[in-house]
Structure 1
Amino acid sequence: MDRIQGLKLPRIISDGMIIQRNEEIKIWGHESAGVFIDVYFAGCTYTAVGDKEGNWKVVMPAMEAGGPYELIITVGNKKRMVIQDILIGDLWLCGGQSNMELPISRVMERYKEEVETYENNKIRMFQVPMTYDFNGPLENIRAGIWQRLNQSNAKNFTAVGYFFAKALYEKYQVPIGLIHTAIGGTPIEAWMSEEALKQFPAYIEQSAKYKDKAFIQKTLVDDITRINAWYNRLDEVDLSLKERELIKGRWYDAREMEGWKDCELPSFLVDENLVEAGSVWYRKVVQVPENMAGKAGRILLGTIVDNDHVYINGSEIGFTSDRHTPRIYEIPLGKLKAGKNVIIVRVCFERGEVGFTPDKKLQLQIGPEVIDLNGTWQYKLGGKLERLDYPVFIQFQPMGVYNGMIAPLKNIKFKGVIWYQGESNGYYPDDYKTLFEGLIKDWRKTLRSSDLPFLYVQLPNYATLSEDYYLQQANLTDEVRKADLEAGWAKIRQAQLEALELPNTAMITSLDVGEWNDLHPLNKKDIGERLALAARAIAYHEEVNYCSPVGESVIREDDALIVTFKNEGTGLIMKGNELNQFIISQDGEHFYKAHAKLMGSNKVIVWHEQIGLPKEVRYAWADNPENANLYSKEGLPASPFRLNI
């Protein structure tokens, strides 16, 4: 809470705040018991008195969009607090995990010009700091400030929220506020109350030990100690690191190339001597022309598993500690020279896989000039160690961040929620439908709005394509592998689809904007704008076509299945020469890649020559349904689904 002497306000009631229009306005805080508090706002005065615990509140009538306003709070003639630049508009809660959390700074490669030429003082964001508690819901947010959308703050905004808010403002011209609560990696159960999780007693039991704050502190300290000790031992056994230290001067350009082998990058390393954890050194010699020498530039290395130190001509220019962040390192003036330059990358890997993510762009950029780094590199195995177990993330535990970040918002009125989550639950998807529907009801109860609009993103495509997939595409076999039938992300998408049974919900499909090799696809603009389109329908009650086509019913005619779609807009289309990603089964266990053709504006007929009397059809049922190409004429991709006779 902000405070002046004994007067305290929640941090979210602060300069630059946005209040939901056309809803009662609640202002609350803490003072001494029995003390009278006067609140002045929009020309009116409201009086409250502290209860026996010193808590007070005033409720003011709803207002139309507008501002800026001042909020003045006084206690007698001695204490006075002024909250400035308050706007009345629409307030949206942004929730989920990393794809909602991902800031504009991470997508600047795609949207640099747009972001650097746009400011809007009427779009603002309050980022709730990561907070967990397992002893019950907290009363207030502990920190945070309202950030206006300007060049100083734009890169901090959630990228999905940025494009969502921008689209809504351009449509309605009213202030748009974002309360940003998303935390990377969090499973859905972390965002649910204890009451909502009672039907899952294992989660209640799992979180019980975290009620002990001393246990949490010891767990975190022990974990940091364990990880640091592992990396210290890796440095001790990394022979290439020791060789570097023994070579004086130009260690990076040593002529002794013994033990180095060729490899093609970007790729994950395959070597018979590779162990489950350790380090690998990569090396590439690059010729830089005279006109590029000495200039500042950048090196792009895609994403690397798990972490890396990058050197150019012996100078370290960058380090990244996780596998998901794009490696974009600045090269200072004077580091590149004419002629031969040596790039060294030391990669440490913790659990089996190591290397440069395939299909990523590797290059040197010096001004407008580009030197391609894809192709042949050399590598050398460094240290070898046992597997390093995953770090401990207390924030992933059931109910923790709900108590710390959602429960304290109970006094705030929202226009609605936008949600992007499900990736972490892909490892255990079977309960997701119950959990997700439970979360929606739980948040509506907490936020005291039984029909609060809840808009969410169906998971995009993601996952490495397997050898089995390529064999199937080559028609060596039409049978779908069991791993795809049990795909966690496919099951999550189906659960998300079925959650539309709840009123005032909307789902946007994102199969066409994912990246098979990146958990965090860059295209957040289409996601934000599709959510805004859904908001126009669900929250603003416009008649707009925001829904993706989805299979609604299926009948059998002879040995073919005819699927009827809803939300087809002005009609279904396919992108390409033939429909892909339909599979059928006659027993519900063995599925085969099927032929499919459009029938009229809203039907697809599906069949396979060897499958008589099929009884089930699925569409785009895989973690990464490559080339799923059924769309509405409005350009919205069809949702994955499964239907039975």
Structure 2
Amino acid sequence: MNYIKIVQVLVVVLGITTVKAEVVLPKFFSDHMVLQRNNNNPIWGTAQKGEKIMVSIAGQSHQTKADKNGYWKIRLDKMKAGGPYKLIVQGDNKIELNDVLIGEVWLCSGQSNMGWKVGGTTYADLEIASANYPNIRLLKAPLQGSLTKQYDLDAQWEKCSPENVGSFSANGYFFGRRLHQVLGVPIGLINVAWGASALETWIPREAMDAAGTYTEMLSQWDERMSNFTDKTLKKETKAYEVWVKSGKKGKNMSPVRDHRIGQNTPANGFNYMVHPILGYGIKGAIWCQGETNLGRSYQYRRMFPLLINTWRELWGQGDFSFYWIQVAGMKTKPTAPEQSYWAEMREAQTMTLKLPNTAEAVVYDLGEGNNIHFKDKQSSANRLVLHALSKDYNYKIKANSPSYESMKVKGNKITITFKDVSSKLYAFDVSTVKGFTIAGKDQKFVFAKAKIIGKNKVEVFANEIENPVAVRFAWANNPDANLYDKTNLPVTAFRTDNWHGISYQKEKANR
């Protein structure tokens, strides 16, 4: 969509007419908002064509005129953390936004393990009762998608309190609370996470089209959307209701979704929840998503970097920090070496660390076998915020989990060397190192014995493998692995081989 079309749509969305128009701001420019410190924050809106607009805050003023389509935008001078301030927008009418703070703003996105509420976490009652943080501000986007780009969110900033924190993102809140406690500045958290959302719903359609590698997937969705009507929705809903009343006999059915506004349709989540806030001043983004894309990890290797690069380009703030929480452990502990969609997804996420200003929190050990929404969001947020404190705010804190660096084969043993080890490695809970498997050239893995032989080295072997060629660690849906750094960060799951996984076979079969 070109610039002229964008502003024409924006004019309609924000209620501007060609006869008479007041200055209008998007709803998320509201009382109690937080603006990013040390940033030329943009403020934008609509007005009558040619109308003079003045924006002022904390002694600075900026003037502009609404263009021929009624759109205007200014950028504030950089400000230090502080407030509260009053932001005034003056045109033919006057808008006053009160209790505006300057601090650190972070975007929180992904699917349900980012959207999971504080009220559903460990010690939820205690967390809610103690959430008296008026200088932490919360903005929560409505959970809806759109086939077309939207230009406003029906959401406003709120002060964090026991009355509202229970329904906010747990990972987001615990991350922001730690920042607030350490930095001592206001924190703004923007929650645009949506349960069960697919990665592709968060990427603009134009970016996927331009990539040229998602043509088949997009074509299938286009066909589905062209045939999806109110009549289709009614018919599918009725069929599902009949199936439920029958005691769910016969072929299993899923609850009916309106894919026109749903969270799996490509670009839907981006169009409705992200596009309206593009350019709003932020420090960075935190992310937790992947379960919906299980079985498509080879595609994820390309698509996840596409999302990050595209958001950064459209935001216009350079390579802002982008940190994510890996998918956690799920299902039963392995009784034999296994192929794993979950492990392959973690691998795809780790591979995305090749992008600048990225980091991940390793959390396979926090998962619950029978609960995809693990409750210990405090620990996952702690591991995530270590990266922000270390990389964005220059605290001397160990943040990276140890990860695979190299291997050396000698006889029937393989020595693995790790990077990002602080003082030393250790086996948690029991002295036996658990989580390693080993294989020969026949690609048949067996559980391995492992011994820590130095600060950052582990010797791996199995009596039944005379000529080993590959090692894997924590390679399972729900790994039984206990190798940690002394800072209590688990070693990142890895494999030394590049043999095709089960996701590759599945994706190949579906092409």
TM-score, with length taken from structure 1: 0.71
For the pair 1:396 / 2:264, whether they are aligned, the reply is: yes
Structure 1 equivalent of residue 449 of structure 2: 595
Secondary structure (helix, strand or coil) at the match of 2:342 reads helix
Partner of 2:491: 638
**Which one has the bigger strand percentage?**
1
Is the Cα–Cα contact under 8 Å of residues 207 and 399 in structure 1 kept in the other structure?
A: no
Name the structure 2 match of 1:536.
389
What is the rounded CA distance, in whole Å, between the counterparts of 2:253 and 2:351 in structure 1?
38
The alignment covers a number of residue pairs equal to: 475
Corresponding residue for 2:509? none
Matched, 1:80 2:91: no
Q: Distance in 2 between matches of 1:524 and 1:193?
A: 29
Please give the secondary structure, in 1, of the residue aligned with 2:263. Answer: helix
- Provide the alpha-carbon RMSD of the alignment: 2.0
Work out the CA distance in 1 between the residues paired with 2:36 and 2:276: 17
Q: Distance in 2 between matches of 1:443 and 1:217?
A: 32
**Alignment counterpart, residue 201 of structure 1, candidates 188, 212, 215:** 215
1:605-635 deviation per Cα after TM superposition (whole angstroms, max 9, x unaligned):
0011121221111001011112x10001111
Secondary structure of the corresponding residue to residue 181 of structure 1:
strand
Name the SS for the 1:495 alignment partner.
Answer: helix
- Where do 5+ consecutive residues of structure 1 fail to align? 235-277, 279-349, 351-383, 473-479
- For residue 588 of structure 1, report the CA deviation from its aligned partner: 5.8
Equivalence for 2:131: 118
- Structure 1 vs Structure 2: percent identity of aligned residues? 33
| 3-state SS, counterpart of residue 195 of structure 1 | helix
Shift of 1:151: 1.6
Distance in structure 2 (CA, Å) of the matches to 1:51 and 1:463? 57
Say which of 6, 28, 37 aligns to 1:12: 28
Going from structure 1 to structure 2, the CA distance change for 1:598 and 1:21 (only over 3 Å counts) comes to: same
Is structure 2 residue 56 aligned with structure 1 residue 40?
yes
Structure of higher CA gyration radius: 1
1:332-371 matches, within 5 Å, as 350=248
Amino acid at match of 2:375: L
Shift of 1:67: 0.7
Superposed displacement of residue 130, structure 1:
2.2
Q: Distance in 1 between matches of 2:235 and 2:101?
A: 46
Note if contact 2:436-2:448 (Cα within 8 Å) is conserved in structure 1.
yes
> Under a length normalisation based on structure 2, what TM-score does the superposition of the two structures give?
0.89
Within the candidate set 37, 43, 50, 2:66 is matched to 50
Pick the aligned partner of 1:158 from 144, 151, 169.
169
Mapping of residues 402-413 of structure 1, within 5 Å: 402-413=270-281
**Contact 1:110/1:522 (<8 A) preserved:** no
Within-5 A mapping of 1:243-642: 278=247, 350=248, 384=249, 386-392=251-257, 393=259, 394-465=262-333, 469-470=334-335, 472=336, 480=337, 484-485=338-339, 487-575=340-428, 576-587=430-441, 589-626=443-480, 628-642=481-495
Distance in 1 (alpha carbons) for counterparts of 2:456 and 2:303: 32
Confirm whether residue 178 of structure 1 aligns to residue 189 of structure 2: yes
Residue 146 in 1 paired to residue 162 in 2? no
1:223 is aligned, of 236, 249, 267, to 236
Secondary structure of the structure 2 residue equivalent to 1:597: strand
Contact 2:136 2:177 survives alignment (8 Å): yes
Shift, 1:196, TM fit: 2.6
Give 1:61 deviation, angstroms. 0.8
- Between the aligned partners of 1:124 and 1:427, the Cα distance in structure 2 is 37
Paired residue type of 2:463: E
Q: Deviations over 1:551-585 (max 9, x none)?
A: 11101011110000111111000021311111111
Give structure 2 stretches of 5+ with no counterpart: 1-12, 499-511
Are the counterparts in 1 of residues 153 and 273 from structure 2 also a CA contact under 8 Å? no
Asked if 1 retains the 8 angstrom alpha-carbon contact of 2:110 and 2:288, the reply is: yes
For residues 588 and 45 of structure 1, do their structure 2 counterparts lie closer, same or farther at Cα, with a shift above 3 Å needed? farther
Alignment match, 2:84 = 68
**Distance in 2 between residues matched to 1:42 and 1:130, nearest whole Å:** 34
Aligned to 1:7, what secondary structure does the other structure show? coil
Counterpart residue identity of residue 193, structure 1:
P
How far apart in 1 are the matches of 2:348 and 2:32? 38
